[in-house]
Amino acid sequence: MDVDGVLTDGRIYLQSLPDGTAEEMKVFHARDGAGLKLARMAGLRTGIITGRDSAATARRAREVDMDFLAQKQAEKLPAYEAILREARLDDAAVAYIGDDLPDLPVLRRVGLAIAVGDAAPEVRRVAHFVTQRHGGEGAVREAIEAILRAQGTWRKVSGRARA
């Protein structure tokens, strides 16, 4: 999945510090985190491909036990292909959730292309599934729940949910 506009609402908060530097802050939705943990319990592997380099993103990926993290990827397709090789998967076995134009090359390849509800029109047009929720507002959880329901594992996994 992408980060900004998918796991977040797309805003990038920069806090100016007295020494002239700036710190980045991101806001993640708790339900997305819970959904990612449920995906893990169901045996799904998760990961991020993002153009930015963010300590907050790396921390969030660790917190929800993601398998893959590719930051500073201006072009997402090479990172996606590296993940496919590492995971020993083909395109048909992958779902990807995005929101904007840099996500299009990956979305056109995967077996299940997902767009968040407020994604760019071009992204919504190539998506197999568009969430009702917007990026940063539980869209990832919605997508994971739809996948687990389709696989018939939602009921079993949701009953084991923990904080």
Map residue 44 onto helix, strand or coil: coil
Question: Measured between alpha carbons, how far is 13 from 7 in angstroms, rounded to an integer?
Answer: 14
Question: Measured between alpha carbons, how far is 12 from 14 in angstroms, rounded to an integer?
Answer: 6
Residue 135: predicted pLDDT: 98
- Tokens standing for 54? 């963010």
* pLDDT tens digits, one per residue of 74-132: 999 999 999 999 999 999 999 999 999 999 999 999 999 999 999 999 999 999 999 99
* 42 phi and psi angles, rounded to 5 deg: -85, 0
- Tokens standing for 27? 């806001």
Query: Confidence band (pLDDT; 50, 70, 90) for 62?
Result: very high
Beta bridge mates, 97: 114
CATH number of the domain at 13-158, please? 3.40.50.1000
Residue 127: predicted pLDDT: 98
pTM across the whole model: 0.94
Q: Where are the domains of the chain?
A: 13-158
- Tokens standing for 35? 């959904």
Question: Measured between alpha carbons, how far is 80 from 144 in angstroms, rounded to an integer?
Answer: 19
Residue 160: predicted pLDDT: 84
Cα–Cα separations (whole angstroms), residue 49 to 67, 124, 158: 11, 19, 26
Question: Measured between alpha carbons, how far is 35 from 39 in angstroms, rounded to an integer?
Answer: 6
